[in-house]
């Protein structure tokens, strides 16, 4: 595969110039990761202004390195770091982030994670298995009478957003609105965001927060068997989530859980079709298939951490407050950890991929995402054994996210859901 025209590698200084919006990189970043990793597994990415790790070992270690964290202002002041004051127009969005456990470090993170884990327990996730199966069948039934369909719009998107809505206790009819809020907020994390993107994200944060506050009031008065009620009730050592923490947690579960799972399904189905696996192989794939889908083409490609102190790291000296980028997509294709990384091999020996992160920030929604892939994808191929790609799938220019704009497929022969055993 060709390398991006914008790519320039200075091996003597471990510096790389590369536009994340370069079309060649957007459509297939893995040859670029390989070219960089071979000469500079830790490199300074000029467009991001920070050091980045491209090897599996480095990424794996940095997730667990206590000298780095997701926040810095708990150990340094803005004046000390030379940071300007926060932008006032972003205050409503920043207020949501301020209470998100993804952006906090111990002891605050430990407290939030403990409380959320008490509500987001495995039995609440596992009981969604039959609902995921039923939803997959319903969506595939809805493909009739078409011969072609966009699987991102018609399958990958509805499953996670409807499940998250139902898990929270929000009507499934709210799914389009939840999607709109999620898309506008998540756009804040793209490369080269604009003022328009910021204004849309702020409006979405305000609208989403106001909506959830109403639901929280209802659940306080009349609890139900849903995640909002469980989060309200969650308690550890006499402590509970504040309302702001509760709102931020619900928003995080939707935004992170939905956006990533849509792309995990889309990217994974594309990989299966490109690899030429037949329906019976997919149905028998089990855990190996799910983990290879997550490794091969993950939906998130960069996760940043701050240096909490001055850190010497290979060719780099990171000062307190500087960031390091952990390149998950590059780590998952490191041949030192995954033999023949460019091949989609569900039966491979499975060293740990890093698609869900690691350390204290390992994705809290990983069990739900895995369950959705494990249940929905085999049903798709069982019902549609003649499924084929229709054209060339194109990825969106949304780095550090990596997901298809559309996945157009020809449906071919199909099986009736009534002829299938229940899941």
Position 309 in a domain = yes
What value does the mean pLDDT take over residues 61-76? Answer: 96
Q: Is residue 30 part of a domain?
A: yes
pLDDT tens figures, 284-301: 888 999 999 999 999 999
Work out whether strand 148-150 and strand 408-410 pair parallel, antiparallel, or are unpaired.
antiparallel
Q: With H, G, I as helix, E, B as strand and everything else as coil, classify residue 412.
A: coil
What gap in Å lies between CA 404 and CA 332, rounded to an integer?
19
Helices 195-221 & 91-98 angle (0-180, nearest 10): 50
Q: How does DSSP assign 144-170, residue by residue?
A: TT-SEEEHIIIIITHHHHHHHHHHHT-
- The reply to whether 3 falls in a domain is no
Domain presence at residue 185: yes
CA distance 43 to 51: 5
Cα distance between residue 378 and residue 152, in whole Å: 16
Look up the CATH number of the domain holding residue 218: 1.10.630.10
Task: Answer whether residue 420 shows pLDDT above 50.
Answer: no
Indicate if the pLDDT at residue 21 is higher than 80. yes
Q: Which residues lie across from 16 on neighbouring strands?
A: 9, 45
* 181 within a domain of the structure (yes/no): yes
pLDDT at 359 over 80: yes
Q: Is the pLDDT of residue 358 over 80?
A: yes
Give percent of the chain above pLDDT 90. Answer: 77
Give pLDDT, residue 350: 73
pLDDT in tens, 212-250: 999 999 999 999 988 889 888 886 667 888 999 999 999
> Does any domain span residue 2?
no
Closest CA to 135 of 189, 179, 172: 172
CA angle, 191 then 201 then 19, to 5°: 5
Q: Is residue 229 part of a domain?
A: yes
Range of the domain at 157: 8-419
- Cβ atoms of 74 and 103 within 8 Å: the answer is no
User: Domain count of the chain?
Assistant: 1
Q: What is the pLDDT of residues 316-333, one digit of tens each?
A: 999 999 999 999 999 999
Percent of the chain exceeding pLDDT 70 equals 97
- Residue written as tokens 């060339």? 392
Pick from 124, 152, 75: nearest CA to 308? 75
Give me the chain's average pLDDT, please.
Answer: 92
């Amino acid at each position: 595969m060709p390398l991006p025209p914008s790519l320039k590698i200075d091996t003597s200084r471990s510096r790389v110039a590369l536009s994340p919006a370069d079309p060649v990189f957007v459509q297939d970043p893995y040859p670029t990761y390989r070219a960089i990793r071979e000469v500079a597994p830790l490199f300074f990415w000029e467009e991001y202004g920070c050091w980045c790790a491209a090897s599996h070992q480095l990424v794996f270690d940095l997730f667990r390195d206590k000298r780095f964290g997701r926040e810095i202002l708990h150990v340094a002041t803005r004046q000390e770091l030379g940071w300007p004051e926060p932008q006032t127009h972003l205050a409503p969005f920043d207020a949501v982030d301020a209470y998100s456990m993804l952006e906090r470090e111990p002891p605050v993170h430990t407290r939030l994670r403990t409380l959320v884990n008490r509500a987001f327990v495995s039995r609440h996730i596992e009981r969604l298995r039959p609902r995921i199966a039923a939803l997959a069948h319903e969506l595939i039934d809805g493909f009739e009478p078409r011969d072609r369909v966009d699987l991102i719009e018609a399958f990958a998107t509805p499953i996670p957003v409807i499940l998250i809505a139902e898990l929270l206790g929000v009507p499934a009819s709210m799914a389009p609105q939840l999607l709109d809020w999620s898309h506008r907020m998540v756009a804040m994390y793209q490369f080269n965001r604009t003022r328009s993107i910021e204004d849309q994200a702020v409006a979405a944060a305000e609208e989403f927060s106001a909506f959830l506050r109403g639901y929280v009031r209802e659940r306080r008065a009349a609890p139900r068997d849903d995640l909002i009620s469980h989060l309200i009730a969650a308690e550890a050592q006499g402590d509970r989530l504040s309302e702001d923490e509760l709102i931020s947690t619900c928003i995080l579960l939707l935004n992170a859980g939905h956006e990533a799972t849509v792309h995990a399904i889309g990217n994974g189905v594309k990989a299966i079709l490109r690899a030429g696996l037949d329906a019976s192989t997919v149905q028998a794939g089990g855990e190996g298939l799910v983990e290879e889908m997550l490794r091969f083409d993950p939906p998130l490609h960069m996760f940043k951490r701050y240096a909490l102190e001055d850190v010497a790291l290979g060719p780099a000296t990171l000062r307190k407050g500087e960031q390091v980028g952990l390149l998950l997509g590059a780590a998952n294709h490191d041949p030192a950890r995954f033999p023949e990384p460019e091949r989609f091999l569900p039966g491979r020996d499975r060293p740990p991929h890093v698609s869900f992160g690691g350390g204290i920030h390992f994705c809290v929604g990983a069990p739900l995402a895995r369950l959705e892939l494990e249940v929905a994808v085999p049903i798709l191929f069982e019902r549609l054994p003649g499924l084929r790609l229709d054209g060339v799938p194109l990825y969106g220019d949304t780095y550090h996210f990596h997901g298809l704009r559309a996945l157009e497929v020809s449906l071919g022969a199909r099986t009736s859901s009534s002829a299938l055993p229940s899941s």
